Amino acid sequence: MMDLAVAAIRLLPPEPAHKLTVELAARFGPFLPGPGRDDPRLAVNALGLSFPNPFGIAAGFDKNARAFRFMLKMGMGFAECGTVTPRPQPGNPKPRMYRLPQDGAVINRMGFDNDGMAVVAERLKRRGKGIVGINIGANKDSADRIADYRLGFQTLSALADYVTVNISSPNTPGLRGLQNREELHRLLGVLVEARGAAKIPLLLKIAPDLDEAALDDIAAEVLAAGLDGMIVTNTTIARPETLKSPHAGQTGGLSGKPLFVPSTYILREVRKRVGSKIVLIGVGGVSSGAEAYAKIRAGASLVQLYTSLVYHGAGLIPRLKRELLACLARDGFASVAEAVGADIPA
């Protein structure tokens, strides 16, 4: 039945399909039974939180905090809502989302379309059980983007289990400039000051399109600021020559299978630079337990997915867990934690 529903929704254009999926999830999620207990080998303690399993839904699926209950009840270990900006905004002109089925990929240039932090805050006040993070961004027409991040953090941080600072979307002009060392230093300083003595974990989400020097700078600033973690990576502006879909030339961020190799490379490089001082969440191209395991061995304690759900639906989640458990057993690891960073030289 789940497979039939996914196939039917996929007959719609990408953005209407996404909106219908979120609407159905929002309506029926609260009434679904909770997930069964996960195998204890999948449990992860990170960011001061106890995750039942390492799999989470990445930001972008549930921008407005309407569908996270559904994803948690489908067996996700955590859900990240957003990206949320201080003021509501419609995002970029349509069409702005494209499936690349021949490549197992999606290109989007949504542009932080969301209901704004006031509306999302009201929804998060009624969030119930489960680990929920919030991903914050800046309005496209903001005169002071760093002030936007401070306001978003101040408004939403008390309502979530962790906060992700998204400065790596390619779909808001100039946003990725905040990854430059001087701007990043200012931004992180403002957010750490806003956090004060609060215990809320603070994470930074970075792009896959960074060179070695940029990774050096970002890692140094993250460690100096005392952040708790990084999400590696966002979508890419690169277009591999292997892409076959007629939509391959569309502008925006590319996600899905073609992102797996470059995002995992960046993940590994970040882990080499930060060691075990912070938590890394790997995201990009995961559609199997073996790929999730590769992210974990490259240094990720947790793994997010989104695009693979577009093609496989929520039925993918139990398969990922089974396959990851098989990988752990094959290599003699008693838990996910034992495998984290296994491929990184000591």
The residues assigned a catalytic role are: 169
Name every residue whose Cβ is closer than 8 Å to that of residue 246 and which is 6 or more positions away in sequence: none
Place of tokens 């805050």: 121
Which structure tokens are listed for 131? 């680990």
Rounded-to-integer distance, Cα 42 and Cα 51, Å = 9
